[in-house]
Structure 1
């Protein structure tokens, strides 16, 4: 089986951005997308998401939600975190096309990653296509 190789710079960049711009708002998984729209011209489109539910307020007053243009000049090395400790394992998973993204949800324990002494279990990941984010404007 081929070993998955991750670019350490990408991992560090990803973690720094997540830690630097995390907000104390509760993240919610949305299965029913009928409450909102991705169309800018819709009354329930992205510019109005913060008005739909009180807990979605960060969508109106935030400055770093998607899409994000990640610039090299903003990257900060956080060396005190040390190396990423990965303990991923083979696991069955379900891949689901949710219309706006692809979600991979793992069945059972798929392992974890440890950052600064805190372990984060791998439960699911998802990605949007086409990508919302750019790196250095591209």
Structure 2
């Protein structure tokens, strides 16, 4: 009887571990980084409504940081920042880690351009 219970428990644990390993994190398979793919960067804005900005944006991933594309600017000036205390949620989305602030969290200025922390 003990052997039967032990086998049953082992089977349940093995099945549970397999199911947990096969689960995907939110939206992990909806897109990829292959430029020739139907779900590649050129089509990210068509995959989901909340990704629509990816169709006309110019400052989102993936960013090609090869040596010939990098511009070194020696005199950018001071990085101005204005942080405010705010609660936030940190979420592992499988392909990245997202930090979303609740309310106003401040801003930073880079080369004269303001970026809001949200």
- TM-score bin, normalised by smaller chain: 0.3 to 0.5
**Which structure exhibits the higher relative contact order, with contacts defined as CA atoms closer than 8 Å and separated by 6 or more residues?**
1
Find the structure with the greater CA-based Rg: 2
Length-normalised TM-score, structure 2: 0.46
Which one has a larger percent helix, Structure 1 or Structure 2?
2
